[in-house]
Amino acid sequence: MTNARRAARIGRRRWASSKTFHSDAQTEMELTGGSTTQLEMDLGELPLPSYARPAPKEDNVLEQGDLFDLLAESPEPTPQTIFEGMEKPIFEVAFADGRNARFQHANTLLESLEAQDIHIEYQCREGYCGSCRVRLVEGDVHYIEEPMAWIDDDEILPCCCIPKSALKLQ
């Protein structure tokens, strides 16, 4: 694996594990009816116009190699998305071809499967490209973000959901 790819993968984990959904924030998100993007846009600082934006600081610039080392020194505290008032979900995930996994300590079904060496296609990892589409034979899932990709009634997008029950996938 090249450094670039390793860094990309680590960067993704780092982002993912820092994401914690607060139930209040979640409800408000639903009330506004918008995507999370919209929520963040509303709350975030207004971006500066390009001429006013500071140049990146020298000491902030990471080389790919540095980054790997740097991240290795800062292990993740709690890797699972936490929903207030909801128990941490732990569910069995079975595939029609006989492969088995267990969902626990993960932000999304996709991350959980990847961590257990079950390869699922992906691209956007946030529900808008449809690459991760799999068929749900049995069980139920909860979407962390409203998925935008087209899926059939019996399909799910593992990149943006977590199980609500044991699952059987194809």
Partner 1 sequence: MAYTTFNRNEFDTFEQPMFFGEPVNVARYDQQKHKIFENLIEKQLSFFWRPEEVDLTNDRKDFMDLPEHEKHIFVSNLKYQTLLDSVQGRSPNVALLPVVSLPELETWIETWSFSETIHSRSYTHIVRNIVPNPAVVFDDITKNEYIVRRAISVTKYYDDFIELSNYYQQLGEGKHTVNGETIDVNLHELKRRLYLTMVSVNVLEAIRFYVSFACSFAFAERAKMEGNAKIIKLIARDEALHLTGTQHMLQIMARGKDDAEFAQIAEECRDDVVAIFHEAAEQEKEWADYLFKDGSMIGLNKDILSQYVEYITNQRIGALGFEPIFDVRNNPLPWINAWLNSDNVQVAPQEAEISSYLVGAIDSEVDTADFGDFDL
Query: By CB neighbour count within 10 A (0-12 exposed, 13-18 middle, 19+ buried), where does 159 fall?
Result: buried
Q: Which range in 91-99, 103-111, 121-129, 162-170 contacts partner 1 by CB under 8 A? A: 121-129
**Mask: binding to ligand FES, 123-162, rule CB under 6 A, as x and -?**
xxx-xxxxxx----------------x-------x-x---
**Helical ranges in the chain per DSSP H:** 3-17, 23-32, 36-43, 64-73, 109-115
List Cβ neighbours of 46 (8 Å cut-off, separation of 6 or more). none
CA dist 102 and 45 (Å) reads 39
The answer to whether the beta carbons of residues 159 and 128 sit under 8 Å apart is no
Q: Is residue 16 within the footprint of ligand FES (CB under 6 A)?
A: no
**Minimum distance from residue 164 beta carbon to ligand FES (Å):** 18
Residue 115 sits in the site that holds partner 1 (CB under 8 A):
no
Q: Tell me the residue number closest to ligand FES, measured at CB.
A: 159
Give the tokens for residue 135: 């068929």
Residues that bind partner 1 (CB under 8 A): 2, 4-5, 7-12, 14-16, 18-22, 24-25, 28, 31-32, 34-35, 37-44, 47, 49-50, 53, 56, 61-62, 64, 67, 119, 121-126, 128-131, 133, 146, 148-150, 152
